A and B are shown apart, each in its own frame.
Chain A
Amino acid sequence: MSQINRLKGGLVNRGNAMSFTWNGKSMSGFEGDTLASALLANGERLVGRSFKYHRPRGIFSSGAEEPNALVQLRKGAAQEPNTRATVAELFDGLEATSQNHRGPLAWDLMSVTDLMAPFFGAGFYYKTFMWPAKLWEKLYEPAIRASAGLGRLSKKPDPDVYDHGFLHCDLLITGAGPAGLAAAMVAAKAGLRVIIADEDFLPGGRLNAETFEVDGQPGPSWAAAKAAELADMPNVRFMTRTTVYGAFDHGIYGLLERKTDHLAESGGKPRQILWRVYTKRSLLCAGSTERAIAFANNERPGVMLAGAVRDYVNRYGVTPGQKVAVFTNNDDGARTADDLKAQEVDVSAVIDTRKGQYVAEAKGRRGLKAIVLGDGSVVEADCLAVSGGWSPNVHLTCHQRGRPSWNDEIAGFVPGGELPPGMTVAGAANGAMTLGAALASGVAAAKAAVKDLTGKSPRASAPKAGDETYEVQPYWEVPNLKGRAWVDLQNDVTTKDIRLSQKEGFRSVELLKRYSTLGMATDQGKTSNVLGLAVLAEAAGKSIPETGTTIFRPPYTPVPMGAFAGRARGQDFRPVRKTPSHNWAAENGADFVEVGMWLRAQWFKRPGEKGWRDSVDREVEMTRKSVGICDVTTLGKIDIQGRDAAEFLNRIYSNPFLKVPVGKVRYGLMLREDGICYDDGTTARLSENHFVMTTTTANAVLVFRNMEFARQCLWPDLDVHLISTTDGWAQFAVAGPNSRALLSKVVDDLDLSNEGFPFMACSECTVFGGFPARLFRISFSGELAYEIAVPARYGDSMIRGLMKAGEEFDVTPYGTEALGVMRIEKGHAAGNELNGQTTAAMLGLGGMVSKKKDSIGSKLSEREGMNREDDMRLMGFHPVDKADKLDAGAHFLTQGDPEDMAHDQGWMTSVAYSPELGHSIGLGFIKRGKDRVGEVVRAFDPVRGKDTKVVITSAHHIDPEGDRQRG
């Protein structure tokens, strides 16, 4: 189809025609077009529907501020909702569809809501849909939700990848328009490391949209030349298609660079890069955004911002209409008419409010046909270029504490309050609304930055350009309004809505926004906020500055979630830590489970085993009968050395540690300062001044952090040093009656007899003929058991060597499940019991909190509430009917008591099937537990529909005397 609105000239590449589809219809445009300019070139005026009333809408702007022309781009998983056609670069094969309508775009069934508009004023939904209450979720809300929302997600995983990057610079310049380019030249020539970023793919800003000259050249040529010069300089990073979306603390800025959005396929390359930029100074040259004037039906397709009309005519060589009228309160009007006439487009009228003229109403439902003037005359027009003046883009200045201030001369808000530290503002963003002023302010700002950073004053003068006139007379809403005049086009907020909100008491700007939804749409009110404020001020009989200000929150324009997430998704969401025996385990049937970042073997499946229970039961039985091996590397390991190491540990652990003999291991209990147990483990004294601590897997990092705090902040003069060796040593539990025999084959020259190496002994030693190792006789399983550690690089060899050595004993590897079964059988507390809510007394370890010394948490553990007689105790539980399976999370109720919170007796923390006892067993906390052994209580589990009678036992289900581990 021919491009009926294509003019001559412009900055598009006519040598490269591109075809695309719009709602399935094939069209063509050129390289350098946006989807919006191409649609206009093809005569498409109706491009979307508004949010609330489903009013027909056309392209309103030519940039990121677009409220109307939101489309769905691409197909399949790459489908991208709510894309502004005004910033979507055209590529060959682009597919776009309109959104938020039922039935064809031109015949949206939902547009019936527009007829209901009298009943759908601001906040109407707060006043109705209340009866009957049940219908809200069933009827009202689904209907509202279905009609609300804009585009659709594909419901498929985002097929693209996103990268994160980090950059540093002296000066970040936001915007490569005239002010930004002029500033960058000065700063770059002075040797600063400069990053200049512009959201557009073509540098130059408004220079590309206007017909101005700089230094005697056409504006676009000057911009292109300066951009090329800057891009060649080694100290400059010139970033196009890059939005500075936010200003964060300490000179950190967030940038989004679009790498492949202008291509048909990303080809495996990152679609976008999210840059975090660390700056010494920043200069905001973000330009300004035009705003509209309120008159009846001022949002008909064909009504467009005047600056956008010039942009389409001059930059893209496209006219938005064949017969264009202009409505303005400033000098833009004449310029718009001139630019159109230069391209031989028919200009049907220029209506200038400064001459007392105004547009009363726009005519034409699906596209502008005519305008009615204040005097009643009718002017034919298929496009109306509107300018209500320009608002500086102060957004980034507000991201911290800045509050813009009103400037009467330009009738707009300029940066005010506290700007982000290090930020200055130049050009139109700072209220320098003419080209000459913008260039001069850019140069001046850059000189100031250079002086500030280097102490030198560069010599530079601003490029030469004329100062076109910019005289503006505030003009917000036409008089004698008939019908509705829109302020926020996307959210369908009219001047009536603002007045109603004001009348109903929503008088603060913030209340107005929330009640009327003004400025809350995807454009965040870029074209509407100031107009809305002006209408509110007028309704309240106040000035704009008295009424309030508009502030902005990041991001400047919306940023895809995928970009913020970067590569951290799927399996790469978090790093994976593998144990030293991981490869061996994988080769031997291990089933792995996530434990924090770690992957651990939870069981090892052998041929013929039907379910996990078969494997786990076997591992437990074989370990208890002969010997089993488990990789326990994930336990935290902390190396503690120094003359005061014992004294330090004595203050960290609640039980005494001063007199641990060399060559011995002691179990230690750690409290938080608030007296609650948070970790336990064993600490071995390898020599007088050298200890090795183990912590639980979950708390390895936290315990180390807390110990460093104690070392550096509480007792800075103790001679003690800490290092985490969790990853440095591979450690294996070797447990079972044959563990001694197995290890005797592995360990060199060490007397492993019960006398030579008794329970809780430890030693440094060698294995397999000279490899360094540490041996600890400790037991989590309750069996005769050891843990042996070798430097992590030998971990793989070690597991293979241990397994080979154990063949004659039919050694079994066991995983975390069997480990868990054995510790529950033995009655050891683990994560489910050490959950940060339990006291030592609850765990039956009250005696371990020494009263004879000060240790972390010992004092606050004395508080009355933590030492109640009726407090919970950790106990064991057996089902009365041995066939019953217990479940963790059941609550205990005394038989005959009501089932309510007041009668809650405690809860089951951990359960397992005990192969040795032949039935399910549990651990749990129950009130006054130690006095209730033998009592039958209910394990009440309504969420799983269970209610099981259990008998309270000792927590030590097997070998309560500990004979096995000492044997």
Chain B
Amino acid sequence: MIINHPLLGPRDAAEFVYKGDVGLIDRPDGMSDDLDTFHDYAYLRDNPAGEHQELWYHEQGDRSWLVVTRSTLTHEITKVELARDVARARGRSS
């Protein structure tokens, strides 16, 4: 596969490490959220047959975490974003 890195252009997917569902960005707060919320965050992830937003890490490259929108049926990639931007958009400011 080829991932079109937003800063570096097309790169072979073998340069990246896969983590999984983008929902892993939405970490609850350990002081205010309860165990069930943490359980769901850590263990229950989206696993669709179709479009999937997922985290990839450019380990053999610039060390960016990316959010890749990819079909799990065809492997077609329709969008690649910097995970930091996505994280901010999902409300993760410190």
Residues of A within 8 A of B (CB): 249-252, 278, 400-401, 418, 421, 644, 647, 673-674, 701, 705, 708-709, 712-718, 853-855, 858-860, 862-863
Q: Are A717 and B93 in contact (CB under 8 A)?
A: yes
B residues in contact with A714, CB < 8 Å: 25, 27, 87, 92
Closest Cβ of chain A to B68, distance in Å, is: 12
Q: Are B35 and A716 in contact (CB under 8 A)?
A: no
- Identity of the chain B residue whose Cβ is nearest the Cβ of A710 in the assembled complex: B27
**What 1/0 mask marks residues of chain B from 17 to 46 whose CB sits below 8 Å from any chain A CB?**
101000011011111010100110010000
**With A250-B2, A716-B92: A709-B42 Cβ-Cβ less than 8 Å:** no
- Identity of the chain B residue whose Cβ is nearest the Cβ of A852 in the assembled complex: B31
Query: Whole-angstrom distance between the alpha carbons of A363 and B65 in the complex?
Result: 70
Q: Are A249 and B75 in contact (CB under 8 A)?
A: yes
Number of A-B contacts (CB under 8 A): 82
List which B45-63 residues lie within 8 A (CB) of chain A: 55, 57, 59, 63
**With A249-B1, A249-B75, A250-B75: A712-B87 Cβ-Cβ less than 8 Å:** yes
Query: Whole-angstrom distance between the alpha carbons of A252 and B82 in the complex?
Result: 24
Q: Are A718 and B65 in contact (CB under 8 A)?
A: no
The answer to whether B79 has its CB under 8 Å from any CB of chain A is no
Query: Whole-angstrom distance between the alpha carbons of A713 and B83 in the complex?
Result: 6
Q: Are B42 and A674 in contact (CB under 8 A)?
A: yes
Q: Are B19 and A709 in contact (CB under 8 A)?
A: yes
Q: Are B88 and A708 in contact (CB under 8 A)?
A: no
Closest Cβ of chain B to A154, distance in Å, is: 32
Q: Are A716 and B84 in contact (CB under 8 A)?
A: yes
Closest Cβ of chain A to B23, distance in Å, is: 11
Query: Whole-angstrom distance between the alpha carbons of A656 and B67 in the complex?
Result: 31
A residues in contact with B33, CB < 8 Å: 859
Q: Are B2 and A278 in contact (CB under 8 A)?
A: yes
The answer to whether B69 has its CB under 8 Å from any CB of chain A is no
- Identity of the chain B residue whose Cβ is nearest the Cβ of A855 in the assembled complex: B30
A residues in contact with B64, CB < 8 Å: 712
Q: Are B17 and A862 in contact (CB under 8 A)?
A: no
- Identity of the chain B residue whose Cβ is nearest the Cβ of A859 in the assembled complex: B30
- Identity of the chain A residue whose Cβ is nearest the Cβ of B67 in the assembled complex: A713
- Identity of the chain A residue whose Cβ is nearest the Cβ of B32 in the assembled complex: A854
B residues in contact with A859, CB < 8 Å: 28, 30, 33, 35, 38
Q: Are A862 and B31 in contact (CB under 8 A)?
A: no
The answer to whether B15 has its CB under 8 Å from any CB of chain A is no
Sampled A-B contacts (18; CB under 8 Å): A250-B2, A250-B77, A421-B74, A673-B42, A705-B17, A708-B63, A708-B65, A712-B65, A713-B55, A713-B86, A713-B87, A714-B87, A714-B92, A715-B94, A716-B84, A716-B93, A717-B88, A717-B93
Q: Are B31 and A709 in contact (CB under 8 A)?
A: no
Q: Are B59 and A701 in contact (CB under 8 A)?
A: yes
Q: Are A853 and B31 in contact (CB under 8 A)?
A: yes
Q: Are A712 and B83 in contact (CB under 8 A)?
A: yes
- Identity of the chain A residue whose Cβ is nearest the Cβ of B74 in the assembled complex: A401
Between A251, A278, A701, A717, the greatest number of chain B beta carbons within 10 A of the residue's beta carbon is seen for A717
- Identity of the chain A residue whose Cβ is nearest the Cβ of B77 in the assembled complex: A250
B residues in contact with A712, CB < 8 Å: 64-65, 82-84, 87
How many residues does chain B have at the interface if contact means C-beta atoms less than 8 Å apart?
35
A residues in contact with B35, CB < 8 Å: 859-860, 862-863
Query: Whole-angstrom distance between the alpha carbons of A853 and B31 in the complex?
Result: 7
Closest Cβ of chain A to B57, distance in Å, is: 6
Q: A713-B65, A714-B25 are in contact. List 19 more A-B contacts (CB 8 A).
A: A250-B2, A251-B2, A252-B1, A252-B2, A401-B74, A708-B65, A709-B55, A712-B65, A712-B84, A713-B24, A713-B92, A715-B92, A715-B94, A716-B87, A716-B88, A717-B94, A853-B30, A853-B31, A859-B28
- Identity of the chain B residue whose Cβ is nearest the Cβ of A250 in the assembled complex: B2
- Identity of the chain A residue whose Cβ is nearest the Cβ of B38 in the assembled complex: A859
B residues in contact with A713, CB < 8 Å: 24-25, 55, 65, 83-84, 86-87, 92
**With A421-B76, A713-B24: A718-B94 Cβ-Cβ less than 8 Å:** yes
- Identity of the chain B residue whose Cβ is nearest the Cβ of A248 in the assembled complex: B1
B residues in contact with A860, CB < 8 Å: 35, 38-39, 42
**With A717-B93, A718-B94: A858-B30 Cβ-Cβ less than 8 Å:** yes
Query: Whole-angstrom distance between the alpha carbons of A714 and B25 in the complex?
Result: 6
Query: Whole-angstrom distance between the alpha carbons of A717 and B93 in the complex?
Result: 5
Closest Cβ of chain A to B65, distance in Å, is: 5
- Identity of the chain B residue whose Cβ is nearest the Cβ of A715 in the assembled complex: B94
Query: Whole-angstrom distance between the alpha carbons of A251 and B1 in the complex?
Result: 8
Query: Whole-angstrom distance between the alpha carbons of A892 and B76 in the complex?
Result: 52
A residues in contact with B77, CB < 8 Å: 250
- Identity of the chain A residue whose Cβ is nearest the Cβ of B88 in the assembled complex: A716
- Identity of the chain B residue whose Cβ is nearest the Cβ of A860 in the assembled complex: B38
B residues in contact with A250, CB < 8 Å: 1-2, 75, 77
A residues in contact with B27, CB < 8 Å: 673, 714
A residues in contact with B86, CB < 8 Å: 713
**With A712-B87, A713-B24, A854-B29: A705-B94 Cβ-Cβ less than 8 Å:** no
Query: Whole-angstrom distance between the alpha carbons of A400 and B25 in the complex?
Result: 32
Contact of A854 among B30, B57, B94 (CB under 8 A): B30
A residues in contact with B2, CB < 8 Å: 249-252, 278
Query: Whole-angstrom distance between the alpha carbons of A701 and B39 in the complex?
Result: 26
Q: Are B57 and A709 in contact (CB under 8 A)?
A: yes
Query: Whole-angstrom distance between the alpha carbons of A674 and B39 in the complex?
Result: 9
- Identity of the chain A residue whose Cβ is nearest the Cβ of B10 in the assembled complex: A278
Query: Whole-angstrom distance between the alpha carbons of A674 and B25 in the complex?
Result: 15
B residues in contact with A855, CB < 8 Å: 30
Closest Cβ of chain B to A722, distance in Å, is: 8
Q: Are A705 and B57 in contact (CB under 8 A)?
A: yes
Query: Whole-angstrom distance between the alpha carbons of A715 and B82 in the complex?
Result: 14
Closest Cβ of chain A to B90, distance in Å, is: 9
Query: Whole-angstrom distance between the alpha carbons of A401 and B93 in the complex?
Result: 42
B residues in contact with A421, CB < 8 Å: 74, 76
Query: Whole-angstrom distance between the alpha carbons of A858 and B59 in the complex?
Result: 27
Closest Cβ of chain B to A847, distance in Å, is: 17
* 7 interchain residue pairs of minimum CB distance: A854-B30, A859-B30, A250-B2, A717-B94, A716-B84, A712-B65, A249-B1
- Identity of the chain A residue whose Cβ is nearest the Cβ of B65 in the assembled complex: A712
- Identity of the chain A residue whose Cβ is nearest the Cβ of B57 in the assembled complex: A705
A residues in contact with B1, CB < 8 Å: 249-250, 252
Closest Cβ of chain B to A377, distance in Å, is: 57
A residues in contact with B82, CB < 8 Å: 712
Query: Whole-angstrom distance between the alpha carbons of A152 and B35 in the complex?
Result: 60
A residues in contact with B63, CB < 8 Å: 708
Query: Whole-angstrom distance between the alpha carbons of A631 and B1 in the complex?
Result: 40
Query: Whole-angstrom distance between the alpha carbons of A854 and B76 in the complex?
Result: 38
B residues in contact with A716, CB < 8 Å: 84, 87-88, 92-94
Closest Cβ of chain B to A854, distance in Å, is: 3
Query: Whole-angstrom distance between the alpha carbons of A716 and B92 in the complex?
Result: 7
Closest Cβ of chain B to A704, distance in Å, is: 8
Q: Are B92 and A854 in contact (CB under 8 A)?
A: no
Query: Whole-angstrom distance between the alpha carbons of A674 and B40 in the complex?
Result: 11
B residues in contact with A708, CB < 8 Å: 57, 63, 65
Query: Whole-angstrom distance between the alpha carbons of A505 and B31 in the complex?
Result: 61
Query: Whole-angstrom distance between the alpha carbons of A921 and B9 in the complex?
Result: 56
Query: Whole-angstrom distance between the alpha carbons of A674 and B27 in the complex?
Result: 12
Closest Cβ of chain A to B88, distance in Å, is: 5
Query: Whole-angstrom distance between the alpha carbons of A5 and B19 in the complex?
Result: 64
B residues in contact with A418, CB < 8 Å: 74
Between A712, A714, A862, the greatest number of chain B beta carbons within 10 A of the residue's beta carbon is seen for A712
Query: Whole-angstrom distance between the alpha carbons of A592 and B42 in the complex?
Result: 40
Query: Whole-angstrom distance between the alpha carbons of A709 and B74 in the complex?
Result: 27
Closest Cβ of chain A to B44, distance in Å, is: 13
B residues in contact with A401, CB < 8 Å: 74
Between B31, B35, B64, B94, the greatest number of chain A beta carbons within 10 A of the residue's beta carbon is seen for B94
Closest Cβ of chain A to B33, distance in Å, is: 8
A residues in contact with B94, CB < 8 Å: 644, 647, 715-718
Query: Whole-angstrom distance between the alpha carbons of A712 and B85 in the complex?
Result: 9
A residues in contact with B31, CB < 8 Å: 853-854
Closest Cβ of chain A to B22, distance in Å, is: 9
